[in-house]
């Protein structure tokens, strides 16, 4: 009787598994024609051996630091790997291949060969927008990313799939259905042990609103939700064959997540149907040489060549911020720190007939309506703080405009808490702009670090500390100022160049997986 009950429970599992395998086989079988079509569109003869590398980057036209990583990797492959064709899965359906490549050159000064790159435009990007999921946002966006990845693979299946935006929940789908190896460059963990700790301690945060943090019941429900989410996020990351991360901070979190286990959920996964499904799937899945247990740090590239020739002296009293207008960048804190600076140091307030005033310049990309609303709110806040006359906000500036301000500014401001890396901070340093950053994440651990026991910039946590650090930096003697700029530049140019990025990217051994597809 017991054997009969077990078989009755397992039979639906076997049937479901078989249905999935049939669907996956049909899905992959249709890919040959799609592959021929893509190569034909690029003018490549069908008999010419090519390997397709798919980059999953739905916001490839955003113009931020993550996009610089993507395009630098693609450009390196075009230069060094003639047999490789890049497939970029993009949700920028309002753009064209020509306009995207044009923006890449204008924003990053990266020239790409259009005959070696194909864009697979996706129509379902709205399902990874946080605005679509007012509740259970992480879960909703992750489900949306799975659907978006299914749409991407429906367009064309590459020989190697590399996620460069952080959608780890797409890994099991691509591996299971397409039977191809998966890799990723992770900028920021979707969930972290810090987030669990904040919910457990009921600390208010932009990921833990006051409604939840003030309620013991809601906090317990959210903690359970986060535990479940963390468990499957870790499982998804372990699906990858290789993982690259952008900083020590991100590596520490990702390595911790890869080792994460939950006793309750581990026990639930001993249920016979789940064990059988996993066994059947592992039986025919592509075999990895070993289970991934850690990520490799590959610092993001910074094109420091042009910036590193800017003069170090005679800088203007300009505080510069270069960051996308996303909520985590915390631009309101920059305005408040600037207002506090002017309150503490009235000599920097703009007055008729004086030339000692300080200007705050905010430059950033706006991806969508949410970002545009944030820009409008910043303009309103600047007026409320009475600093609008000394504040300039520029949206979606060209690369030449960014370089112009980097060559003039005295200080660079970054207020994001737990910034995963901070390419903008590296750009400040390479350009000779003294960085003032939040004392956390990549800027604290990897970038603005002492060199030979001497500082390369400033760190702060509160509005008052930022204002004080800005005031101190503006008060440096000419000799100390030049020495600090030179130290910071030398460190940034040596440590965070495009050449160093390419070495790290290739050290991930992504090429080992190109011939490994079924």
The residue-averaged pLDDT of 121-144 equals 93
How confident is the model at residue 13, as a pLDDT?
77
Q: How many alpha carbons lie under 13 Å from residue 514 in its C-beta half-sphere?
A: 17
Confirm whether 1-301+502-513 and 304-496 share one CATH topology.
yes
Task: Please tell me the distance from the alpha carbon of residue 308 to that of residue 328, in angstroms, as a whole number.
Answer: 29
The residue ranges of DSSP E strands in 391-460, in sequence order, are: 391-395, 411-414, 434-438, 458-460
Task: Please tell me the distance from the alpha carbon of residue 371 to that of residue 326, in angstroms, as a whole number.
Answer: 6
The residue-averaged pLDDT of 408-430 equals 92
pLDDT bracket for residue 7 (50, 70, 90): very low
Report the candidate in 85, 77, 95, 92 with the shortest Cα–Cα distance to residue 117: 85
Report the candidate in 434, 430, 427 with the shortest Cα–Cα distance to residue 411: 434
DSSP states of 396-410: S--HHHHHHHHHH-S
How confident is the model at residue 123, as a pLDDT?
97
Strand order in the sheet with 359-364: 391-395, 359-364, 318-322, 411-414, 434-438, 458-460
Report the candidate in 505, 419, 414 with the shortest Cα–Cα distance to residue 164: 505
Q: Contact at 8 Å (CB) between 257 and 192?
A: yes
Burial status of residue 475 (CB atoms within 10 A of its CB: 0-12, 13-18, 19 or more): exposed
Task: Please tell me the distance from the alpha carbon of residue 121 to that of residue 93, in angstroms, as a whole number.
Answer: 6
How confident is the model at residue 5, as a pLDDT?
45
Beta partners for residue 185, in sequence order:
244
Residue 232 DSSP class: H
Q: Which of 172-181, 258-267, 289-298: highest mean pLDDT?
A: 172-181
Angle between helices 137-155 and 216-237 (to 10 degrees): 30
Q: What average pLDDT is seen over the chain?
A: 89
Report the candidate in 247, 250, 254 with the shortest Cα–Cα distance to residue 501: 247
Question: What percent of the chain is predicted at pLDDT more than 90?
Answer: 65
How confident is the model at residue 212, as a pLDDT?
67
pLDDT bracket for residue 211 (50, 70, 90): low
How confident is the model at residue 3, as a pLDDT?
45
Other CB atoms within 10 Å distance of the CB of residue 454 = 9
Angle between helices 423-431 and 478-495 (to 10 degrees): 130
Within 85-215, residue ranges assigned H as helices are: 97-108, 137-155, 170-173, 193-200, 210-213
Report the candidate in 340, 308, 517 with the shortest Cα–Cα distance to residue 432: 308
The residue-averaged pLDDT of 405-430 equals 93
Task: Please tell me the distance from the alpha carbon of residue 381 to that of residue 364, in angstroms, as a whole number.
Answer: 17
The pTM of this model reads: 0.80
Assign 168 to helix, strand or coil: coil
How do the domains of the chain map onto residue ranges? Answer: 1-301+502-513, 304-496
Residue 195 in tokens: 């987030």
Q: What is the H or E stretch that residue 380 is in? A: helix 369-384
The alpha carbon of 402 is separated from its chain's Cα centroid by a whole number of angstroms, namely 20
pLDDT bracket for residue 283 (50, 70, 90): low
Task: Please tell me the distance from the alpha carbon of residue 426 to that of residue 202, in angstroms, as a whole number.
Answer: 34
In this predicted structure, the answer to whether residue 17 has a pLDDT above a threshold of 90 is no
Q: Contact at 8 Å (CB) between 433 and 489?
A: no
Task: Please tell me the distance from the alpha carbon of residue 278 to that of residue 272, in angstroms, as a whole number.
Answer: 10
pLDDT bracket for residue 517 (50, 70, 90): very low
Strand order in the sheet with 296-297: 117-121, 84-90, 51-56, 160-163, 182-186, 242-245, 296-297
Residue 387 in tokens: 């600093």
- Give the domain 1-301+502-513 fold: Rossmann fold (3.40.50)
Among the ranges given (295-304, 316-325, 442-451), the one the predictor scored with the smallest mean pLDDT: 295-304
Report in angstroms the alpha-carbon separations of 455 from 40, 100, 429: 55, 39, 12
3-state class percentages of the chain: helix first, strand second, coil last, to nearest 5: 55, 15, 35
Pick the more confident residue, 66 or 47. Answer: 66
CATH 3.40.50.2000 fits 304-496, yes or no: yes
Among the ranges given (197-206, 359-368, 394-403), the one the predictor scored with the smallest mean pLDDT: 197-206
């Amino acid at each position: 009787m017991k054997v009969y009950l077990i078989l009755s429970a397992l039979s639906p599992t076997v049937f479901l598994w078989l249905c999935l395998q049939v669907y996956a086989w049909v899905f992959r079988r249709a890919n040959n024609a799609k592959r021929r079509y893509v190569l034909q569109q690029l003018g490549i003869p069908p008999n010419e051996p090519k390997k397709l590398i798919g980059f999953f980057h739905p916001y490839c036209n955003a113009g931020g630091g993550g996009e610089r990583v993507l395009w630098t990797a693609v450009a390196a492959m075009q230069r060094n790997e003639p047999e490789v064709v890049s497939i970029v899965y993009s949700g920028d359906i309002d753009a064209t291949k020509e306009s995207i490549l044009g923006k890449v050159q204008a924003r990053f000064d990266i020239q790409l060969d259009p005959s070696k790159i194909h864009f697979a435009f996706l129509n379902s990007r709205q399902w990874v927008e946080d605005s679509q999921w007012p509740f259970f946002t992480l879960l909703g966006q992750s489900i949306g990313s799975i659907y978006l990845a299914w749409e991407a693979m429906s367009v064309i299946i590459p020989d190697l799939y590399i996620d460069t935006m952080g959608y780890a929940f797409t890994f099991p789908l691509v591996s299971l259905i397409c039977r191809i190896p998966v890799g990723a460059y992770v900028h920021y963990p979707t969930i972290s042990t810090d987030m669990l700790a904040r919910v457990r301690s009921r600390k208010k945060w932009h990921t833990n609103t006051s409604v939840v943090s003030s309620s013991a019941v809601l906090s317990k429900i959210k903690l359970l939700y986060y535990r479940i989410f963390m468990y499957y996020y870790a499982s998804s990351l372990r699906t990858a064959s290789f993982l690259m991360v952008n900083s020590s901070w991100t590596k520490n979190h990702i390595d911790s997540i890869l080792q994460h286990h939950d006793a309750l959920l581990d026990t639930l996964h001993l249920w016979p149907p789940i064990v059988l499904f996993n066994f059947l799937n592992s039986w025919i899945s592509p075999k990895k040489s070993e289970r991934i247990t850690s990520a490799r740090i590959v610092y993001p590239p910074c094109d420091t060549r042009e910036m590193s020739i800017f003069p170090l002296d005679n800088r203007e009293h300009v505080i510069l911020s270069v960051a996308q207008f996303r909520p985590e960048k915390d631009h309101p804190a920059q305005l408040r720190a600037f207002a506090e600076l002017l309150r503490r140091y009235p000599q920097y307030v703009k007055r008729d007939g004086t030339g000692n005033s300080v200007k705050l310049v905010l430059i950033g990309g706006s991806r969508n309506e949410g970002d545009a609303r944030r820009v409008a709110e910043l303009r309103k806040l600047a007026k409320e703080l009475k600093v609008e006359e000394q504040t300039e906000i520029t949206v979606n500036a060209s690369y030449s405009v960014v370089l112009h301000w980097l060559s003039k500014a005295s200080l660079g401001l970054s207020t994001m808490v737990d910034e995963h890396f901070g390419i903008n901070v590296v750009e400040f340093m390479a350009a000779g702009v003294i960085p003032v950053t939040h004392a956390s994440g990549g800027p604290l651990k990897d970038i603005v670090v002492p060199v030979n026991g001497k500082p390369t910039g400033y760190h702060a946590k509160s509005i008052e500390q930022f204002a004080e650090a800005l005031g101190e930096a503006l008060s440096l003697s000419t000799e100390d100022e030049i020495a600090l700029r030179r130290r910071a530049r030398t460190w940034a140019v040596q440590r965070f160049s495009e050449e160093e990025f390419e070495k790290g990217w290739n050290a991930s051994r992504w090429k080992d997986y190109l011939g490994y597809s079924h």
